[in-house]
Amino acid sequence: MNLNERANEICELCSQTMPKLKAHLVSPKTVEIVDNQVGICELCATNLDQPVDTAHHWRCLGDSIWSPTTAVQVQSYQVLDQLAPTQQWAQDIIDGIYLDEDASAWIESWRVANPAHIIHKDSNGNILHAGDTVTLIKDLDVKGANFTAKRGQAVRNIRLVLDNAEQIEGKVNDQHIVILTQYVKKS
Ligand SMILES: [Zn+2]
């Protein structure tokens, strides 16, 4: 089955009728076969480059996320995942979906390949960015160094641990330490 036969001339993300769909390879796959691709319209193709700026377009993913085609599910998930920090409706869709093993494994490999998509959040769920200042919300014994980082202490100019959403780095008592995001709040 080729892509147009599978999609039946309907964009697999937004359901727009389109006689000639574009084949879009779903990250992080590299082999251009139908199972790794979604058939999408021009508008979806353009908006995929800037999903956050075109959030209004992506409400359609609430339907496409339930596609029986794994590639369509995974592509839908990836866009929703990028929208979720700023769009509550996208988070709601993610919270409500069920993914089978294939889809979950694919998404996992996408996360590993795209660590920038990992979102760091403080204890209140606020998104942390590199350079932020955070405050410790409990005393932390620093392993390897002989001191306790005190509750209430500010840590300026944090860095994000790119492959771990639970960890940030910062300077406390002139030492670079790794801090768990659950123990900080954004200042
Ligand atoms: Zn479309």
What digits encode the pLDDT tens for the residues 78-98?
Answer: 999 999 888 999 999 999 999
Q: Is the pLDDT of residue 113 over 90?
A: no
27 CB contacts (<8 Å, ≥6 apart)? Answer: 78, 110, 113, 114
Are 148 and 94 spatial neighbours (Cβ–Cβ below 8 Å)?
Answer: no
Q: Tell me the CA–centroid distance for residue 8 and ligand 1, in Å.
A: 13
Whether the per-residue pLDDT at 115 is higher than 80: the answer is no
Report the pLDDT averaged over residues 160-176. 88
142, β-bridge pairs: 147
How far, in Å, from the CA of 13 to the mean position of ligand 1? 5
Centre of ligand 1 from the C-alpha of residue 116, in Å: 25
Q: Tell which wins on pLDDT, 113 or 137.
A: 137
Q: How confident is the model at residue 6 (pLDDT cuts 50, 70, 90)?
A: very high
Determine the pLDDT at residue 167.
94
| Of 83, 81, 82, 65, residue with least CA distance to 73 | 65
The answer on pLDDT for 117 being more than 80 is no
7 C-alpha vs ligand 1 centroid, how far in Å? 11
Q: Please tell me the predicted confidence (pLDDT) of residue 116.
A: 65
Return d(Cα 69, Cα 90) in angstroms, integer: 20
Query: What's the 19 CA to ligand 1 centre distance in angstroms?
Result: 12
pLDDT of the residue at 36: 98
Distance 168 CA to ligand 1 centre (A): 37
Average pLDDT over residues 94-107: 94
> Which residue did the predictor score with more confidence, 144 or 34?
34
Cα of 167 from ligand 1 centre, angstroms? 37
Integer angstrom CA distances of residue 185 from 84, 143, 161, 181? 20, 21, 16, 8
